[in-house]
Chain A
């Protein structure tokens, strides 16, 4: 099926070329980092993980979120998602590829990476994270590819795949739980040392991931003949809304515990993020933006009238993604490391090269996603499923409305 990715419009190739240039520019920075070390990043002895690991964490959530499409289809036989499932699985693949990329660029000695497998250490959560992420990538590759191949040949999905699919659904929850365990089991890091962290990770993943999926699907709808269908879009939007409500609720639980208990350690990180500490207020505008955007996204998503409005939906989703990204892609790591173990503030902010290297990884993910989605949409087109309807009434109305214009063009 890969050959489908090798034929495309100039627009397609233009986009691929743009991504390759982006990856190339980022790769140049990465080579620099490999030569001189991580000193070109903003990380330091107090904030020893930064932008890379934060993006890793966010993207594990995106990878896990594919299950929000897969689960209703397989566990509840929700047929509306039949043709969306593959896009959820392919997004998961691209996201896991990016996760691995962010780990590779973050570690100081990437050539020794295989030590994690050569000296397996079950007491380290990082070892388990490696296991679950690789497993999830593998599961999605098998499932996605075989299902699509069988669809293309008009054959039923093999029976032996069912148990693997069920495994992958449970597995999706495990990848983000284990990623949360990376943080929530560390003594003395109060912002992370909370039993609800894994639940917060899952809730934020299950709103932000499907939001990204839906945004990509809407874009795909615009540039190809693929149409996920109104009902599928509405259902995903509903899932996103519920997950975002839970996500905001969980965060409020954190606030209550920290501030009502009045335990300084629990308050300090949150205070640093939202009001600043020791005169350092760099995170304050970001965190308040996240809070306002989160509320705004709920205002736009909770009322069915606004949620179902097709022209508003991309904006609502974009706002939601921005809010959850600031919370998890910036605040989580910086808040966890600040104040440091001496109750002092060391300011961290990613440097230019750090951003460029991150863009390289994001570019790679986008390229993987582009190729996989190109294949999937072409297969759907060959099968004639989930296509934009040519003879629907709205089309008639449209053509009626545009009739004079069309005539003008004809002349």
Chain B
């Protein structure tokens, strides 16, 4: 009896000590960042939608020069390392028409359309293959349609990279901090560790804080972001008034990123 009590007390003491040691670290490393753990009042002010979607106005965002500021702001806010070679990490980038829309083999494309660069990012699909294949639910779809990740649950099997038909996912082959300027880190967002996959999250941490995604803010109106289920939303207005396409619609993934041509 005495023995049991002693063991129990020992266990409690050790657990408390462990809690003290690891508690703060866990708080810092939480994937949502400080915003996620902030006060409920601020969370209540966060942006909410039934189905987030994005519309890209490719008539405006049409060149490497116009896309670069978006890439820079996204990658710096999310501490995305710049790794030379083909083991690089990309959350958002630009590509020509025949790379972006591979299933549209239109010969003699309109000059303006063919010469454009197109913004590519995660499509946050309704039927996301990456969510379907993930063996640990590290990649999951939120009720508002955003496909996001738990970097701490990811085992790095890269099945999601094989599954994603848009090449939107990147794997940390090495230690990402080696390719980051540690002086310029955004301390509001966690860096990742090697061996996990990452991708665009539609800036869930900014939505929680009531801000639109960083790229949307930087695009100054050329990227529209809103609720697809709200017929009065900006994205629905844009979809009503313009001809839009999506990437690889024949695969049935139902992307939520639309391109005005």
Enumerate chain A interface residues (CB-CB to B < 8 A). 36-39, 41, 43-46, 48-49, 103, 106-110, 112-113, 115-116, 118-119, 121, 123-127, 130, 182-183, 186-189, 264-265, 336-337, 340-344, 346
Q: How far is the CA of A343 from the CA of B166 in the complex (A)?
A: 11
Q: Does residue B102 face the partner (Cβ distance < 8 Å to A)?
A: yes
- Asked, given contacts A48-B158, A186-B163, whether A38 binds B98 with beta carbons under 8 Å apart, the answer is no
19 extra interchain contacts, Cβ-Cβ under 8 A, other than A109-B156, A112-B155?
A: A36-B174, A36-B175, A38-B171, A38-B173, A38-B194, A43-B173, A44-B86, A107-B156, A109-B195, A115-B135, A115-B138, A125-B133, A182-B159, A187-B165, A188-B251, A341-B167, A342-B95, A342-B100, A343-B102
B23 to chain A, nearest CB (A): 20
Task: Tell me the count of chain B residues lying within 8 A, CB to CB, of chain A.
Answer: 51
* CB-CB contacts below 8 Å: B117-152 with A: 129, 132-138
- Binary per-residue interface labels of chain B (75-100) against chain A in the complex, 1 for a CB within 8 Å, 0 otherwise: 00000000001111110000100111
Q: Does residue B235 face the partner (Cβ distance < 8 Å to A)?
A: no
B167 touches A115 (CB 8 A): no
Q: Does residue B196 face the partner (Cβ distance < 8 Å to A)?
A: yes
Q: Which of A38, A119, A340, A341 sits near B195, CB closer than 8 Å?
A: A38
- Asked, given contacts A108-B194, A189-B162, whether A37 binds B175 with beta carbons under 8 Å apart, the answer is yes
Q: Which of B88, B136, B172 sits near A108, CB closer than 8 Å?
A: B172
- Asked, given contacts A343-B99, A343-B102, A344-B99, whether A45 binds B171 with beta carbons under 8 Å apart, the answer is yes
| Minimal Cβ-Cβ distance residue in B for A38 | B173
Which of A41, A113, A188, A343 counts the most chain B CB atoms within 10 A? A188
Q: How far is the CA of A38 from the CA of B132 in the complex (A)?
A: 24
A-B contact pairs, 21 of them (CB 8 A): A38-B195, A43-B173, A49-B158, A107-B155, A107-B157, A108-B154, A108-B158, A108-B194, A108-B197, A109-B155, A110-B155, A112-B155, A119-B153, A121-B134, A121-B137, A130-B135, A187-B129, A187-B163, A187-B252, A337-B162, A341-B165
B162 touches A119 (CB 8 A): no
Q: Does residue B216 face the partner (Cβ distance < 8 Å to A)?
A: no
Name the prevailing secondary structure of the B interface residues.
Answer: loop
Enumerate chain B interface residues (CB-CB to A < 8 A). 85-90, 95, 98-100, 102-103, 105, 129, 132-138, 153-159, 161-167, 169-175, 193-197, 248, 251-253
A354 to chain B, nearest CB (A): 12
B136 touches A343 (CB 8 A): no
Which of A112, A113, A127, A340 counts the most chain B CB atoms within 10 A? A112
Q: Which residues of B contact A341 (CB under 8 A)?
A: 102, 164-167
Q: Which residues of B contact A189 (CB under 8 A)?
A: 162, 165
B133 touches A186 (CB 8 A): yes
A266 to chain B, nearest CB (A): 13
B154 touches A109 (CB 8 A): yes
Q: Which residues of A contact B100 (CB under 8 A)?
A: 342
- Asked, given contacts A48-B171, A109-B155, whether A115 binds B136 with beta carbons under 8 Å apart, the answer is yes
Q: Which residues of B contact A344 (CB under 8 A)?
A: 99
Name the prevailing secondary structure of the A interface residues.
Answer: loop
A126 touches B175 (CB 8 A): no
| Minimal Cβ-Cβ distance residue in B for A339 | B102
B109 to chain A, nearest CB (A): 15
Q: Which residues of B contact A108 (CB under 8 A)?
A: 154-158, 171-172, 194-197
Task: Enumerate the 5 nearest inter-chain pairs by beta-carbon distance, A residue then B residue, closest first.
Answer: A108-B156, A108-B195, A188-B165, A39-B174, A37-B194
- Asked, given contacts A108-B194, A342-B167, whether A186 binds B136 with beta carbons under 8 Å apart, the answer is no
Q: Which residues of B contact A346 (CB under 8 A)?
A: 86
A127 touches B135 (CB 8 A): yes
Q: How far is the CA of A187 from the CA of B134 in the complex (A)?
A: 15
Q: Which residues of A contact B129 (CB under 8 A)?
A: 186-187
Q: How far is the CA of A282 from the CA of B85 in the complex (A)?
A: 19
B252 touches A116 (CB 8 A): no
Q: Which residues of A contact B154 (CB under 8 A)?
A: 108-109, 112
Q: How far is the CA of A39 from the CA of B161 in the complex (A)?
A: 16
Q: Which of A36, A116, A187, A264 sits near B135, CB closer than 8 Å?
A: A116
B99 touches A126 (CB 8 A): no
| Minimal Cβ-Cβ distance residue in A for B253 | A187
Q: How far is the CA of A116 from the CA of B134 in the complex (A)?
A: 9
Q: Which residues of A contact B170 (CB under 8 A)?
A: 45
Q: Which residues of B contact A186 (CB under 8 A)?
A: 129, 133, 162-163, 165
Q: How far is the CA of A116 from the CA of B167 in the complex (A)?
A: 24
B167 touches A45 (CB 8 A): yes
Q: How far is the CA of A343 from the CA of B129 in the complex (A)?
A: 19
Q: Which residues of B contact A126 (CB under 8 A)?
A: 133, 135, 157, 159
A112 touches B153 (CB 8 A): yes
- Asked, given contacts A36-B174, A37-B173, A108-B196, whether A46 binds B86 with beta carbons under 8 Å apart, the answer is yes
Q: Which of A43, A44, A106 sits near B157, CB closer than 8 Å?
A: A106
Which of B156, B162, B253 counts the most chain A CB atoms within 10 A? B162
Q: How far is the CA of A204 from the CA of B98 in the complex (A)?
A: 36
Q: How far is the CA of A188 from the CA of B194 in the complex (A)?
A: 27
A342 touches B156 (CB 8 A): no
Q: Which of B136, B171, B175, B196 sits near A121, CB closer than 8 Å?
A: B136
B198 to chain A, nearest CB (A): 11
Q: How far is the CA of A188 from the CA of B103 in the complex (A)?
A: 10
Q: Which residues of A contact B161 (CB under 8 A)?
A: 45, 48
Q: Which of B102, B196, B253 sits near A109, CB closer than 8 Å?
A: B196
B132 touches A113 (CB 8 A): no
Q: How far is the CA of A37 from the CA of B173 in the complex (A)?
A: 6
Q: Which residues of B contact A342 (CB under 8 A)?
A: 95, 99-100, 102, 167
